[in-house]
Structure 1
Amino acid sequence: MTMIKDVCVHLDGTAEDDGRLDHGAMIADLFGAHLVGVYTNKIGVMMFPATDFGGASAEILTEMIADSRRAGDGVEKRLRARCATLPTPMDFRRIDEADYLLGWAVANLARSTDLFVMSRPWGPGKAKRWPDLVESALFDGGRAVYLVPPESKTARMPKTILVGWRDSREATRVLTEALPFLKRASSVILAMVDEHGAPDRFKDVPAAGIVRHLDRHGVKAELRRVSGWTHASDGLLNEARLCGADLLVMGGYGHSRFREWIMGGNSRAILTECTLPVLMAH
């Protein structure tokens, strides 16, 4: 049976650390899990021509790295003081790496945890919050991510959970990862947003089967057909508002290639607009 015993929380020294820490502590307390804060300190580097690498260039690069580490020391001190105020004991890890190596380090950590708490990677306009790290944890780490919206001020145990269900590998995978939450919820709703393509007779059979499967796990789920929406993401977000969901569960559709995150339009929209936490797995 899926259990949550290790939870990592991404920290970066910004104001959004508070929201991620509160959600991470809530989850760790809920499941009696081990909590680890992971501070990623991006080391500034510059590219120099091969013929120029030496002498003054090497000194500049060395000083840039030293400056990044010194700045990270101050952030780490503040973060450790903040972590000490949490009701849940937590370990602290720091990663000092250049941008292109941070993703590898985070994916490596994700493989030895059950859940990685991070920020929703996009926002209105060009707002971004470490999308490359979310990509690495989700696609390369192989575990679930719990994405906190910037609007979140108070973490609370999810009582009403909305699952974006479709007959796919990704949806099945995230449903398994979400089972610990689903078992503790008061209301679980499986929302199927009608999409063009497959005949109705092929949509209903797997959906009925997954409801029976959840029932055998002790989860009473309500199946809802959501119609009338051009984009599935709009239908899911509207359904989340209607049912007062505390958590949205959905598969992460897309793939990672050459450090570019190619996401399906619905996943990208959810991770730009959703104002409640999203549990996602690929």
Structure 2
Amino acid sequence: MKSILLHIGDDEGLEARMQVALDLARAFEGHITCLQAVTYEIFAPGDFYGSAMAAAMPVIRENAEALRKKVEADLANEDVSWEWVFQFGMAESRLLEKSAINDVIVLGPNDIGETGPRPSRMVGDLLLHSRTPVFVVPNGQKKLDYSAPALVAWNGSTEACVALRAAVPLLAKASRVYLATIAEKDAKDRQDLPPVDGAEYLSRYGVHAEIVELPAGDAPVAQSLLAAAEARGCGYMVMGAYGHSRLAEMLLGGVTRKALTDPKIPILMAH
């Protein structure tokens, strides 16, 4: 994970994801690409002649430049390699373009301007359309303790396998790795690949994984997984992102949506 793509936006989660990106860069002697995207596509009802947009443009430019100066001043004091990329356009589009040449994308749990427990459309877009894993960082996260235990959500699906493979460099630094499954309620929920296959794959990289089977209670799967991670002192969780339709932009599966709704620890996700 030497090439880290960091989303820069003026929101309450910026400091948290900056810190996680810095911790990743230090752990892997990596490089951070700070991507700031600004769009002038402002919808103003009744603004037929573009007067509202014309008035807003100088303010948008000024705010963007002020944010850049602030973040660059902070990064100048850090001992990591970084660069700043400024582009016009929607942030998810610009991040998607850059994602192909990066190892991980660091994002917040909310879209810019939105708060509260709801999944981010931008995170969903990037998960479904990018082949690069996404690290979703909760607002208020102080650091990424990559040496802490880690929990891998496993259901034997292709998405779970993709996430597991993407996480190997990070899991190799964890003090303990838990490969967690949810007990089956019926035959239709059976796993494509058993957890022992995932554990054997990790063992080839020198990573010992402890298989943990969680009871299938009344709580949502995502909640059970996050609770298990918290109980074991995990620093982050790894899971596959499940989508019902590759043509839709946010038709993510129920487990993925719930995991992305107000996450309590960083989640490395891949689709």
Which range, TM-score by smaller chain?
A: 0.7 to 0.9
Identical pairs, percent: 26
- For residues 104-144 of structure 1, the C-alpha deviation after alignment (integer angstroms, 9 at most, x for no partner) is 2111111111001111238xx96278923212322212110
- Structure 2 residue matching 1:121: 3-state secondary structure: coil
Matched, 1:10 2:15: no
The separation in 2 between residues aligned to 1:5 and 1:66, in whole angstroms, is 36
Partner of 1:266: 255
The separation in 2 between residues aligned to 1:133 and 1:259, in whole angstroms, is 13
Q: Report the AA paired with residue 26 of structure 1.
A: D
Q: Report the AA paired with residue 275 of structure 1.
A: K
User: Which residue of the other structure, out of 26, 29, 32, is the alignment partner of 1:35?
Assistant: 32
- For the structure 1 residues 259 and 84, does the alpha-carbon distance in structure 2 shift closer, same or farther, using more than 3 Å as the test? farther
- Structure 2 residue matching 1:218: 3-state secondary structure: coil
1:47-86 aligned within 5 A: 57-86=49-78
CA contact (8 A) 1:44 1:68 kept: no
- For residues 194-239 of structure 1, the C-alpha deviation after alignment (integer angstroms, 9 at most, x for no partner) is 2333379x64962222212211221100101101423211221221
- Structure 2 residue matching 1:136: 3-state secondary structure: helix
Q: Report the AA paired with residue 85 of structure 1.
A: N
Deviating more after overlay: 168-177 vs 130-139: 130-139
Partner of 1:138: 127
Partner of 1:46: 43
TM superposition shift of 1:274: 2.6
- Structure 2 residue matching 1:263: 3-state secondary structure: coil
Matched, 1:175 2:172: no
Partner of 1:166: 155
1:167-206 aligned within 5 A: 167-198=156-187, 203=191, 206=194
CA contact (8 A) 1:162 1:189 kept: yes
- Structure 1 residue matching 2:143: 3-state secondary structure: coil
Could you list the runs of 5+ residues in structure 1 that have no partner in the other structure? Answer: none
- Structure 2 residue matching 1:90: 3-state secondary structure: strand
Q: TM-score, normalised by structure 1?
A: 0.85
Partner of 2:87: 95
Matched, 1:222 2:201: no
Q: Which has the higher strand share?
A: 1
TM superposition shift of 1:277: 0.6
- Structure 1 residue matching 2:79: 3-state secondary structure: coil
- For the structure 1 residues 116 and 245, does the alpha-carbon distance in structure 2 shift closer, same or farther, using more than 3 Å as the test? same
The separation in 2 between residues aligned to 1:245 and 1:260, in whole angstroms, is 30
Bigger radius of gyration, 1 or 2? Answer: 1
Say how many residue pairs are matched. 268
Q: What is the CA RMSD across the aligned residues, in angstroms?
A: 2.7
CA contact (8 A) 1:139 1:255 kept: no
CA contact (8 A) 1:174 1:250 kept: yes
Could you list the runs of 5+ residues in structure 2 that have no partner in the other structure? Answer: none
